[in-house]
Amino acid sequence: MEIKKKFSDKALEDFDLIDKAIEGDEKSYADLMEKYRRPVYHTMLKMVRNVDDAEDLTIEAFAKAFKNLSKFKKDYTFSTWLFRVATNNSIDFIRKKRLETMSINAEITKDDGDSLSIDIKDGSLDPMEEAIKSQKIEIIRQFVSLLPLKYQKLVKLRYFDELSYDEIAQELEAPLGTVKAQLHRARELLYDLVKNSKNVI
């Protein structure tokens, strides 16, 4: 077959795992995540330069990829598609974290002759950003409903209320290290949910 000539053995193995995953084989999801979790995480870390954000983005990348796995077409390798999903999501994340500004049309000329434009913060999201945010929240909400109760509040504060780690520690009156450790454990459980239950996503 032409597909065997076009792709490497590794890519063909991925195609086989994808077919099995779509058919309901939960182990195939786990195998795909096991193969690519670390490289995806390191790519996210290079992009955002923050361990916690990189872990969050890695979860989102696999959640999005697995949710749309039935739409994957074997025109290119799974790894290419997965990293495109991950990097696009990361770029969106980076763009949102930057200070969003809109410039006032008129420029002020300073005494030294240089021009100065005035920027004010525009905190609103455009319709596309709102849709993306809603989709992410819905995916995470489905995962959270299956977490042990003690982790649900932590995840809600982090992902739904969008509090920082320091703010969560203050809210719960808990040490920052404890909050980070428990959220790390919650992320591991979320990974397990992604791997082991395609019905969640």
pLDDT range class, residue 169, cuts 50, 70, 90: confident
Task: Look at residues 55, 59, 38, 37 and name the one whose alpha carbon lies nearest to residue 200.
Answer: 59
Domain ranges of the chain: 2-196
Question: Which has more pLDDT, 72 or 3?
Answer: 72
pLDDT digits (tens, 9 = 90+) for 29-53: 888 988 999 999 999 988 888 888 8
Which residue intervals of the chain are DSSP H helices? 2-6, 9-22, 26-48, 51-67, 78-97, 127-144, 149-155, 165-172, 176-196
pLDDT at 121 exceeding the cut of 60: no
Band (12; pLDDT cuts 50, 70, 90) = very high
pLDDT of residue 122: 43
Among 1.10.1740.10, 2.60.40.10, 3.40.50.300, 3.30.2270.10, what is the CATH number of 2-196?
A: 1.10.1740.10
* Claim: this prediction has a pTM higher than 0.75: no
DSSP state of 119: E
pLDDT given at position 139: 62
Pair 53, 10: CB distance under 8 Å? no
Give the integer Cα–Cα distance in Å for 29 and 15.
12
